[in-house]
Amino acid sequence: MLVTSMKNIGHKIIMIAIAAALLVPIVATSASATPMSSSQTESMGQEEMGDHPWNWTYGSMWHDDMQYMNGQVQSQEAMEQAMEMLQEGKRKGLFAALTYSDGMAIGGYISFQIDETTGTINDYTILTESEDITIFEGIEIQDFDVQDLRVQGSVFQVSNETIQVIVHDNPTGMFHAVSNDTGMTISFRVAEGIQISDGVPECLGCDDFESVLVYSDEFYGILYTDEGTITVDSDGDDNYINITTAKDHVIFRMKPVFSHNGMDDQIMQAMMKNRIAGEISLIVRDGCAVTNTMEYQNHFRIRAMEAEQNRIVLQVSSENHEGKVVIVNMDRETLRTQDREIEVRLDGLGVEPTDNPLEVLYASGAEMDDCRYMLVETEDSVQLLVYVPSFSTHLLSIESILPGEEIFGLPGVLAIVGAVSIVGVAAVFIRKK
């Protein structure tokens, strides 16, 4: 009787374990947002914004992008949800929705005008809490003829077969131009009242790339290129920053506006020293996610692979194997930190936390033991700084868990059930003998 009873219990436990194991992929699929394929994004349709379509393309040629992740595509509903998440991004100080019509782009953080034929940008303006600051009266790319123009959420893009220009409507006001082997020459006409420092002052280690500091009493930003050349010239009352480069890129990034993050100045200093590879901002709601990606180095790539509340998986890669810093910005609903434990893993291995930003921003070494992360929290957002010690292609996971969740969550329960199953089967086997 005892053998029969134990045998039945063992069988029941095994069946429960198998059933629970089969449920895992279903639960994971329903709770996690994954990137949409190109066919899915095409099926979402396009919503007209002025003279150009709203288009959530994924997997395009751009270095930077705005990505919408949704496991189940319902075109109109998905579009409305994406717009709501962009508005939430503005409220949380991460990114905004850029609108465009008839050569005029207006967002939550930037505004500018553009000639749709030549790609020349006029009145590149930062929108701050107190006033609007025009930084560049003109940005002109020599011999640039626009063949494609699109808006993707907070990202504005123009291109032809040799040059790509990407503008981000986010607190950094980032302008990014990328060229292929044919090269490009860009001229930035600086607005009245804006100062230029030829080379970043007091910046040891900044000889890795060409850079100038652009600033006023209200803001400052860095304009740089990895392998190009920069000259500062004057023509009467007009001051120009001229940059020539090939198979390279040009970036303008400013200290974020609408930000109360005490790390902003230190991050800018680290950028001036070529320490930061890229940055991604994201919001997750109801199994869907919107991400805004900025890649600061020519051979670096970052993309979200999975996104759900309290769990993010990113893929980071670079052809340059030297260790660099990656920045991840989220709102506090995407990654909850109160009374929870934060786990950061690189390729499945735990990353050590630190409270010292210098240990992350200026870390060195190429071993896993050199990997560090730091969490910076504000009222509305969470910022994660991670030093990746050596680059190829890595998976970076960020998870917020309740104490004991590893044991009492679904994976933990399955592990316990599996262990009990083994004990039950073993007991039956022993009893038989």
Position 247 scores a pLDDT of 81
Burial degree of 351 (CB within 10 A; 0-12, 13-18, 19+): buried
Closest by CA to 179, choosing from 199, 160, 202, is: 160
What is the token pair recorded at 165? 């220009």
- In 358-409, where does DSSP find H-type helix? 358-361, 405-408
Query: Distance of CA 411 to CAs 91, 248, 414, Å?
Result: 35, 45, 5
Given the DSSP bridges, would you call strands 276-285 and 322-331 parallel, antiparallel or unpaired? parallel
Closest by CA to 322, choosing from 353, 364, 362, is: 364
What is the token pair recorded at 152? 């993707």
CA distance 362 to 323: 10
Closest by CA to 393, choosing from 319, 342, 326, 335, is: 319
Query: Distance of CA 307 to CAs 18, 91, 421, Å?
Result: 27, 20, 33
CA distance 230 to 244: 7
Query: Distance of CA 163 to CAs 250, 300, 400, Å?
Result: 11, 18, 40
Contacts of 415 (CB under 8 A, 6+ apart): none
Range 194-209 average pLDDT: 66
Burial degree of 254 (CB within 10 A; 0-12, 13-18, 19+): buried
| Rg over CA atoms, the chain | 25
Residue 43 banded pLDDT, cuts 50, 70, 90? very low
H-helix or E-strand spanning residue 428:
helix 410-432
Predicted TM-score (pTM) of the model is 0.79
Given the DSSP bridges, would you call strands 341-346 and 393-401 parallel, antiparallel or unpaired? antiparallel
Residue 113 banded pLDDT, cuts 50, 70, 90? very high
Residue 113 near residue 104, CB atoms below 8 Å = yes
Residue 328 near residue 344, CB atoms below 8 Å = no
Rounded to 10 deg, the angle between the 410-432 and 2-31 helix axes is 160
**b/e per residue, 106-143, with b = 16+ CB within 10 A?**
bbbbbbbbbeeeebbbbbbbbbeeeeebbbbbbbbbee
Helix (H, G, I), strand (E, B) or coil at 420: helix
Residue 188 near residue 241, CB atoms below 8 Å = yes
- How far is C-alpha 104 from the geometric centre of its chain's CA atoms? 26
Tell whether the model's pLDDT for residue 142 goes beyond 50. Answer: yes
Digit-coded pLDDT (tens) for 159-168 = 998 999 999 9
**Higher model confidence: residue 181 or residue 401?**
401
Closest by CA to 287, choosing from 109, 78, 432, 123, is: 78
Digit-coded pLDDT (tens) for 263-314 = 899 999 899 888 999 999 999 998 889 999 999 987 889 999 999 999 999 9
Best-predicted range by mean pLDDT (71-80, 199-208, 252-261, 358-367): 358-367
Position 47 scores a pLDDT of 34
| Count of residues in the chain | 433
